[in-house]
Amino acid sequence: MEHVRDVTRLPKAHLHLHFTGSMRPATLLELADKYGVHLPDALTGGEPPRLRATDERGWFRFQRLYDIARSCLRAPEDIQRLVREAAEEDVRDGSQWLEIQVDPTSYAPLLGGLTPALEIILDAVESASRETGLGIRLLVAANRMKHPLEARTLARLAVRYADRGIVGFGLSNDERRGMARDFDRAFTIAREGGLLAAPHGGELTGPSSVRDCLDDLRASRVGHGVRAAEDPRLLKRLAELQVTCEVCPASNVALGVYEKPGDVPLRTLYEAGVPMALGADDPLLFGSRLAAQYEFARRHHAFTDSELAELARQSVRGSAAPEGVRARMLAGIDGWLAEEAGPRPVTG
């Protein structure tokens, strides 16, 4: 028996959560029934699938499951429910700040167009934040599988709604497709509009994709970034620049980026001084939410409570939260450490 603190009580910021992927499985089942959508077995509950996205077939399967789930979000009330429930789950896990990532073009056909879709999503974010007390902001993400001109359109739209709670601009989907430099103009538009740059990199491809995020897109955060662990010089650069890597350990294993939990290089990044913000990525598909990522670090990488508290601090520092919110969260983290640890079984 080891004395540990409850990670759900640890204040933290959640910086890597995808919109559809945040859905509760029970909600997906209800919406699929409502709209007559047939769900494959991998989306009907039970053991999360091992998707092996490191090969083309595995990524295609992952994307297909995601697209099927997204097709069940057809009305403003569906969007409102998804965001409210995602916020409730985050609050339960000790999150006090959530930055949820969305590509509004995916929802535009069923919600009246691109701008109406974004406004519906922003309305849902405002309502969920008010109802749950969770600070919630939005990152708009372009799809690197689509033409860079679409990314520029999204960047301009994101900047236009920055005063409604959009704080960042991302680039998602298969990083083996589409060069980062092709999207440099979109990221320039976003940065000049005051948004932080948070493209995906260093997940399905190696350190070079992280370097591209830094060199071509001037990223202040990198979605995933774990493959930087393969390049000591890149680790040093990330640490010197204090670029936060949004690390999603459970998803790394589920997608086959690493074979087993102990292979995820959390220790390598941490000891190199690279800031990390642990994230759940797509809980709908990977079966674990935010607090579970901290348990992952504790169980599989022997992170102490002091180290988990530092990971939480890094998530706060990497966020777009206002200074007052940051100060409150950082004080809460110190308070968590000051609590007396209780006996709790730790499984291997």
How do the pLDDT tens digits run along the chain, 348 residues long?
Answer: 456 899 999 999 999 999 999 999 999 999 999 999 999 888 876 666 566 656 556 777 888 889 999 999 999 999 999 999 999 999 999 999 999 999 999 999 999 999 999 999 999 999 999 999 999 999 999 999 899 999 999 999 999 999 999 999 999 976 677 789 999 999 999 999 999 999 999 988 899 999 999 999 999 999 999 999 999 999 999 999 999 999 999 999 998 899 999 999 999 999 999 999 999 999 999 999 999 999 999 999 999 999 999 999 999 999 999 999 999 999 999 999 998 877 655 544
Task: Find out whether 146 and 172 touch, Cβ atoms under 8 Å.
Answer: no
Give 193: exposed, middle or buried? Use CB within 10 Å, 0-12, 13-18, 19+.
middle
Of 89, 99, 175, 203, which residue is the catalytic one? 203
Per-residue model confidence (pLDDT) at position 173: 79
Per-residue model confidence (pLDDT) at position 347: 47
Per-residue model confidence (pLDDT) at position 55: 58
Per-residue model confidence (pLDDT) at position 1: 42
In this structure, are strands 342-344 and 2-4 parallel, antiparallel, or unpaired? antiparallel
In sequence order, the β-bridge partners of residue 62 are none
- For this structure, is 131 an active site residue? no
Distance CA 347, CA 317 (A): 30
Per-residue model confidence (pLDDT) at position 149: 97
Per-residue model confidence (pLDDT) at position 57: 65
In this structure, are strands 95-102 and 135-143 parallel, antiparallel, or unpaired? parallel
Per-residue model confidence (pLDDT) at position 41: 83
Per-residue model confidence (pLDDT) at position 313: 98
Per-residue model confidence (pLDDT) at position 63: 83
Q: Which domains does the chain have, with CATH numbers?
A: 9-329 (3.20.20.140)
Distance CA 114, CA 154 (A): 9
Task: Find out whether 61 and 255 touch, Cβ atoms under 8 Å.
Answer: no
Distance CA 43, CA 47 (A): 10
Per-residue model confidence (pLDDT) at position 348: 42
Per-residue model confidence (pLDDT) at position 2: 57
Tokens of 171: 């680039």
Per-residue model confidence (pLDDT) at position 310: 98
